[in-house]
Amino acid sequence: MVKITKITVQKRNLERYNIFLARGEGEEYGFSVDQDVLIKCGLKKGLEINEDEIKAIIEEDDKKKTYHLALHFLSYRMRSIGEVKSYLTKKERQQSHIDFTVEKLIEQRFLDDKAFAEAYVKTKKNTTLKGPKKIKQELKDKEVSEIIIDHALLIYSEHEQLLRLEKWLDKQWSRKGKQSLVAYQQKLVQRLLSKGFNYEIIDQALKKVAIEENLEEEWEAVLYQGMKIKLKQEKKFKGWDLKQRIKQNLYSKGFSASLIDKFIEGNYEE
């Protein structure tokens, strides 16, 4: 048996206490505990405890440390259950303590994957250009179950997605630059697909914000692209072969046959 000879509060953490023990002659530092553990275990000066009891107290304190670590992690923003488990595992906490902590946090409603997923979907749909597929993958990466994810994504209706895409597409037309309308639309479609929107929704949005082809802009674009192609290809090809190369390249960039022919007639020399 050993006797607790002194209990002092830590200077840097007022909720932790240093426990000093007498083992034979003299006094020595024994261990430190959280305030809750101190009270729960009834630790006080003069109390006699054995080595097994000390191990149990330290074990209880270590469990408390894991819990506080999780609370600190949750203080920045909402987290999924999987995120908390992964974080505590990386911090090398005991698995039994992780399980205890997660169960306690769920009971206290500090952890709730359903509420987390719904809040995540609401935030992403309002603050980012991300579609359901992208959001779903992000939630899966956070180890949220697919059933919960699919239920949360009901918040992001097709109507809301359509309005979001229409608003975004309206701002994009001024950035078309020296490329064909067809090529630019394809570029926008690919970008939105990569953001997790379904092709059907993208197509609907494009049809709603579709603008009439500006022939003057298209002609400026075909002139710009055509001259670039000509300068590059005429180093290797001449005559009919060069003409065909220019046509093929311009066609692949989405320009109409009439504009391509007009460019060839006005800028190509045999």
What is the secondary structure of the chain as a DSSP string?
-EEEEEEEE-SS-TTEEEEEEESSSS-EEEEEEEHHHHHHTT--TT-EE-HHHHHHHHHHHHHHHHHHHHHHHHTTS---HHHHHHHHHHTT--HHHHHHHHHHHHHTTS--HHHHHHHHHHHHHHHS---HHHHHHHHHHTT--HHHHHHHGGGS-HHHHHHHHHHHHHTTGGG--SS-HHHHHHHHHHHHHHTT--HHHHHHHHHHS-----HHHHHHHHHHHHHHHHHHHTTT--HHHHHHHHHHHHHHTT--HHHHHHHHHHH---
Cα distance between residue 124 and residue 132, in whole Å: 10
pLDDT computed for residue 213 by the predictor: 58
- Give the confidence band of 172 by pLDDT, cuts at 50, 70, 90: confident
- The CB density around residue 186, as the number of other CB atoms within 10 Å, is 14
Q: Do 113-155 and 158-208 agree at the fold level?
A: yes
| pLDDT tens digits, 111-154 | 999 999 999 999 999 999 999 999 999 999 999 999 999 999 99
* Prediction pTM value: 0.75
Are 136 and 153 within 8 A, CB to CB? Answer: yes
Domain 62-111 has CATH 3.40.50.2300: no
Q: Report domain 113-155's class.
A: mainly alpha
Q: For 69, how many CA atoms within 13 A lie in the half-sphere containing its CB?
A: 23
| pLDDT tens digits, 244-268 | 788 787 777 777 777 777 778 776 5
The answer to whether residue 211 scores a pLDDT higher than 70 is no
| pLDDT tens digits, 77-115 | 999 999 999 999 999 999 999 999 999 999 999 999 999
Angstrom CA distances, 225 to 82, 187, 212, 253, 269, stand at: 51, 16, 21, 9, 17
Show Cβ contacts of residue 208 under 8 Å, excluding neighbours closer than 6 positions: 162, 166
For the domain spanning 158-208, the CATH number is 1.10.10
Give the domain ranges of the chain.
Answer: 1-49, 62-111, 113-155, 158-208, 215-267
| pLDDT tens digits, 182-193 | 788 888 999 999
